[in-house]
Structure 1
Amino acid sequence: MTRPLQLVTGGTGFIGSALTLALLDRGHAVRVFDNNFRGRNHRLATAKGALEMVEGDIRDEAQVARATEGVHTVHHLAFINGTRHFYEIPDQVLDVGTRGALSTLKAALEKGVKRYVLASSSEVYQTPERVPTDETERILLPDVTNPRYSYAGGKIISELLTLNYLRASSVEGVIFRPHNVFGPDMGFEHVVPELARKMFDLSAGFTKKAIDLPIQGQGTETRAFCFVDDAVEQIIACAEKGGAGEIYHIGDTAERSILDLVEAMARVYGIKVTVVPGPLRPGGTPRRCPDIAKVRALGASPKVGFEAGLERTLAWYADHFTNNF
């Protein structure tokens, strides 16, 4: 028996496609809404079950309203991600972020949606005051003149809209803030694929066993990397069990430096790497690691883990680079 219809905006994106496949595996009918600006239909090539694809612009209220007909839960993930885009097209990042939230919220209210699940980001904290960081941490835009913060600003606006548009309605709003989710086919603008690309190129397809690897910063900056399958389990727990008006962290709790990440990647690829530090782009944060006690209380916690997830991720990128060498 098919379970209630789920709408996933940004459903051909990295996390959106993984969420879509997981919802289908659980017996839901799923409708995906995306314009494939960064998403790719091939990510859903293995989809089985009741999957409907709708191509459209998340800023178009009429298109979004039609896509929301008969929907039980809206999972709003559509956004422009990728650090390069924050610097190069900040106007579009904010436009899609703000108008996308408005259009999906209006549709949810008009169409009698039961649950509205917003994908926010750990970027809303910038440099948090407490690490590990829980959901009560203050959010901050330290410099409105830096285009990098177009992304964080759009996420903060989306959170404010979600909490206040739904406050007096029957639609239950839930917000999740993912922290450094990684996995196969995640794109090429994030730290894991960027480093993988450099390692492949500098080692001539891993034929050279020792390389010098330029990085941004000194490598002491830390993150807590969460494999995408683990993140999706937590997202679904938030969607199904999260309290209305609540915010949840999605992630892992093992804090790793970029140097640790480089060493782990080098082990997987069987090469020796000497790191060459370089300048950091303005706006990055030196340390980030979430407290995920709140989502654990919903019954979700990482199962695949960093090491196994990294092996699967790097195998995908090695294959991709080799076939497109």
Structure 2
Amino acid sequence: MTASDGLDYTPAELDRDATFYVAGHRGLVGSAIVRKLEAEGFTNVVGKTSAELDLKNREAVFDYLGEVKPRYVVLAAAKVGGILANSTYPVDFLSDNIRIQTNVLDAALANDVERVAFLGSSCIYPKLADQPIREDSLLTGHLEPTNDAYAIAKIAGILQTQAVRRQYGLPWISAMPTNLYGPNDNFSPTGSHVLPALIRRYDEASTSGAGSVTNWGTGTPRREFLHSDDMADAVLHLMEHYDGPEQVNVGTGSDVTIREIAETIASVTGFGGETEWDTTKPDGTPQKLLDVSKLAEAGWTAKISLEEGLQRTVAWYRDNVEALRQ
């Protein structure tokens, strides 16, 4: 399929009866997208667990997309983790993510998928990028060393999406979310991102009656957080309203310090002890706040406040703690 087919690729409401493949449909973002699509009336949303389909297996990915023939694809599958995991296993984060992305995007192209949304991460931007970070900051400086392998993989996905647009004229897009949280997050004590790690740490301390909690770093870095349900809403909105080669930042446009988010989570979980900070551990990037002007121009803004989102996420965590990934 190419632009020369004479088809109209102007962004418009997606066909609710078309096959819609969500890669990574059980994860934090993918599961939120499935909930959103089903709530919006999509009748044929498909996906496979990693046990059913290894996205690193190129032949298996081509076979699956050839079988289901999706009209739309959201690529939300990825190997993800926090500072510790990224620093410890850079080969895994680079190799696994490049293979996942390349396989899904190549198979989507081979099977004439009309509309693809590739999802990345705000870590693609330089460590010392001007704040808030604009989309045109991409590839203008050095990356944060603690997650550079993951960032390079995601940058490769953006460039592949742009290359498909240039070579084949297809309206594929990329969206770069800020720090996400919500149901089906990874709450592992060693592999999770900062917010779910803090939720687990403070909830366990609250339950056990511990007198103190120790967090990494100084607590001074500033971070922006977006609930996964808001992210899912933004992805569908972009697929129906945006068509451009540049990736689109997806966030709230406001941030808080890690110390402030820790205090809020302590309050929500009912922890009444002391919070200590291990300053021998790394802080990561000093600030990561996205410029969401392009997203606003496309007609979308975040709806779920941080306090509301945290209350909902802590409640979900407590309801599902026994079944969570450890």
Q: Higher mean Cα deviation, 314-323 or 166-175?
A: 314-323
Unaligned runs of 5+ in 1: 37-54
Query: Which residue pairs with 1:174 in the alignment?
Result: 173
RMSD: 2.4
* Alignment of structure 1 residues 1-325 onto 2, 5 Å: 2-28=16-42, 29-35=44-50, 55-69=52-66, 70-83=69-82, 84-139=84-139, 142=142, 148-188=147-187, 189-203=192-206, 205=207, 207=209, 211-279=211-279, 281-282=281-282, 284-321=284-321
Structure 2 vs 1, CA of residues 112 and 224 (structure 1 numbering), >3 Å: closer, same or farther?
Answer: same
Contact 2:221–2:283, Cα closer than 8 Å, also in 1: no
Contact 2:25–2:48, Cα closer than 8 Å, also in 1: yes
Distance 2:90 2:64 in 1: 27
Contact 2:115–2:172, Cα closer than 8 Å, also in 1: yes
Unaligned runs of 5+ in 2: 1-14
Normalised by the length of structure 2, the TM-score is: 0.84
Distance 2:274 2:306 in 1: 22
Query: How far did residue 248 of structure 1 move?
Result: 0.7
3-state DSSP class of the match of 1:172? coil
Tell me which protein shows more helix as a share of its residues. Answer: 2
Query: How far did residue 85 of structure 1 move?
Result: 3.5
Distance 1:140 1:245 in 2: 18
Structure 2 vs 1, CA of residues 198 and 121 (structure 1 numbering), >3 Å: closer, same or farther?
Answer: same
Contact 1:114–1:170, Cα closer than 8 Å, also in 2: no
Structure 2 vs 1, CA of residues 2 and 241 (structure 1 numbering), >3 Å: closer, same or farther?
Answer: closer
Amino acid at match of 1:15: V
Amino acid at match of 1:93: F
Normalised by the length of structure 1, the TM-score is: 0.84
3-state DSSP class of the match of 1:220? coil
Query: How far did residue 271 of structure 1 move?
Result: 3.0
Contact 1:206–1:269, Cα closer than 8 Å, also in 2: no
Amino acid at match of 1:161: Q
Query: How far did residue 147 of structure 1 move?
Result: 6.4
Distance 2:314 2:291 in 1: 26
Structure 2 vs 1, CA of residues 294 and 190 (structure 1 numbering), >3 Å: closer, same or farther?
Answer: same
Contact 2:128–2:141, Cα closer than 8 Å, also in 1: no
Count of residues in Structure 1 that have an aligned counterpart in Structure 2: 302
Structure 2 vs 1, CA of residues 104 and 323 (structure 1 numbering), >3 Å: closer, same or farther?
Answer: closer
Amino acid at match of 1:106: D
3-state DSSP class of the match of 1:177? strand
3-state DSSP class of the match of 1:285? coil
Distance 1:62 1:307 in 2: 44
Distance 2:81 2:113 in 1: 30
Structure 2 vs 1, CA of residues 21 and 150 (structure 1 numbering), >3 Å: closer, same or farther?
Answer: same
Residue-by-residue CA offset, 1:100-135 (whole Å, 9 max, x unaligned): 222222222221111121111100114242212221
Distance 1:88 1:34 in 2: 25
Structure 2 vs 1, CA of residues 304 and 181 (structure 1 numbering), >3 Å: closer, same or farther?
Answer: same
Query: How far did residue 321 of structure 1 move?
Result: 4.6
Structure 2 vs 1, CA of residues 59 and 323 (structure 1 numbering), >3 Å: closer, same or farther?
Answer: closer
